[in-house]
Amino acid sequence: MPDKPAAEEAGSSSGTGVTARANPAIPLANPVQPGKATHVDLKDPFYMSPKSSAWTNDPTQLDLDIWFDPQKPNIGNQYGIRNLRPVIKEPEFEDYLLMDANGRFYTWNPNNGVLFRVKQHPLEPKDAAVLMMNGFGDQDVEQMFNMAHVKGRG
């Protein structure tokens, strides 16, 4: 049987300048603390300064206690996604880039309540942040549905 093409084995680029790499276990950027709302710390001052970017990774601006507190109803629980945490947020329009326990990324806006999963996987958190800031196209994401709100479904 022929070997896989190198591009398939190493990952491929979708014309975005970011290449997906074969990496089955992406470590979380900072550990999840049981019972405490946390975020994915990019450890980059660029995302902490409103002067350098419209997007922020500052935990004080990520609404951790409102949307991501594991002790309260939260966005991850509503969709059945473990450890859904914010990576970056655009404060004016409240667009979020989120990451789950498996290293998958999502976009979400509390104003319309729609959650999209980013198709490209795996990605490093900083690469996903760059893609989010540049804007995902319809072909890059797929809408997630919250079946908990549909009566008679389980």
- What is the reported pLDDT for 96? 96
Residue 91: name the closest of 56, 39, 131, 135 by CA. 56
What is the C-alpha to C-alpha distance for residues 134 and 123, in angstroms, rounded to an integer?
15
pLDDT in tens, the chain (154 residues): 444 443 333 444 445 454 444 433 444 445 555 578 888 888 876 666 555 578 888 899 899 999 999 899 899 999 999 999 999 999 889 999 999 999 999 999 999 989 999 999 999 999 999 899 889 989 999 999 886 655 454 4
**Complete DSSP assignment for 101-123:** TTS-EEEEETTTTEEEEESS-S-
Token pair recorded at residue 129:
């942040």
Q: Which is it for strands 85-90 and 95-99: parallel, antiparallel or unpaired? A: antiparallel
φ, ψ (nearest 5 deg) of residue 144: -100, 145
What is the C-alpha to C-alpha distance for residues 117 and 97, in angstroms, rounded to an integer?
10
- What is the reported pLDDT for 23? 39
pLDDT tens string 14-52: 454 544 444 334 444 455 555 788 888 888 766 665 555
The 10 Å Cβ neighbour count of residue 34 is 9
